[in-house]
Amino acid sequence: MDNRNCAAERSGGTKLSSARAAAASPRNKLTRDQRYSVPVRIGVFGGTFDPVHFGHLRMIETAAVKFGLSRVLFVPARISPFKEEASTDPRHRIAMLALALAGRQDWSLWLGELDREPPSYTVDTLRELSALSLLDELWLLMGTDTLARLDRWKDPEEIVRLARIAAFVREPFSGSKRERPKITGLENRLEVFDAGSVKISATALRSDLERGIGPAGRVPEAVAEYITKQGLYSSVVARH
């Protein structure tokens, strides 16, 4: 999410069509028919998920319980403006997410940031979701490292108006080192929580996989099998 510039793959139109097809099921789309009969809290968690790992999933589990989230939407981005490295093909990232979320009716994919014409911004995603979920309360989930630069995103005050912010503690942005950006309205819309000591990063995972070290214990078994079968992260070929 966070100011995702969707122009990264200028020749990737067919890839995005395939990505949409890979997740084309009713539970991957938020529609008015899927709304609950009473207002609920919906978590919104964006990222490249390259690959999705237990650090993501356990944080969501903690947030869902702590804040009473009835549903969580995982929002894969085409590219993050804060990352220099190109992301793996959206089709693979969506497939891995679908495997990781299998069996969780309260967790689903939302592909709006892959579908939308560039540029793509989190505030636009929240506006769209807010219009679809109407009276439901949106909770934007992120780490404290992301929170520290929230004031650099497009329309941060509008983001805070559209969604409450739940930030899980992520080193080294903790304790006295935790930065809280100066955004009007944030103070009363922010919750910082501890999601445990799961220290897994996608960057380290990719590095290990490129060196032949398996992902066991860091990703769901089905995701590990997919990575092996598809030969992901073993060469630059996997990213195109």
pLDDT tens, residue by residue, 25-73: 444 555 444 445 678 999 999 999 999 999 999 999 999 999 999 999 9
Q: Where exactly are the structural domains of the chain?
A: 13-197
How much is the pTM?
A: 0.82
Which of these, 152, 157, 145, 148, lies nearest to 183 by C-alpha position? Answer: 157
The two structure tokens encoding residue 9:
């793959």
Q: Does domain 13-197 bear CATH number 3.40.50.620?
A: yes
The two structure tokens encoding residue 225:
């099998």
Instruction: Specify the 3-state DSSP secondary structure of 166.
Output: strand
pLDDT above 90: residue 149: yes
How do beta strands 71-76 and 107-109 pair? parallel
Gap between the Cα atoms of 11 and 5, Å rounded: 14
Gap between the Cα atoms of 125 and 9, Å rounded: 20
Of the pLDDT bands very low, low, confident and very high (cuts 50, 70, 90), residue 147 is: very high
Q: Which residue has the higher pLDDT, 236 or 70?
A: 70
Sheet holding 137-143, edge to edge: 107-109, 71-76, 41-47, 137-143, 163-168, 190-193
| For the chain, counts of helices (H) and of strands (E) | 9, 6
For helices 221-230 and 90-101, give the axis angle rounded to 10 degrees. Answer: 150
φ/ψ (deg, to 5) at 63: -65, -40
Of the pLDDT bands very low, low, confident and very high (cuts 50, 70, 90), residue 117 is: confident
Is the link from the previous residue into 118 a cis peptide, with omega within 30 of 0? Answer: no
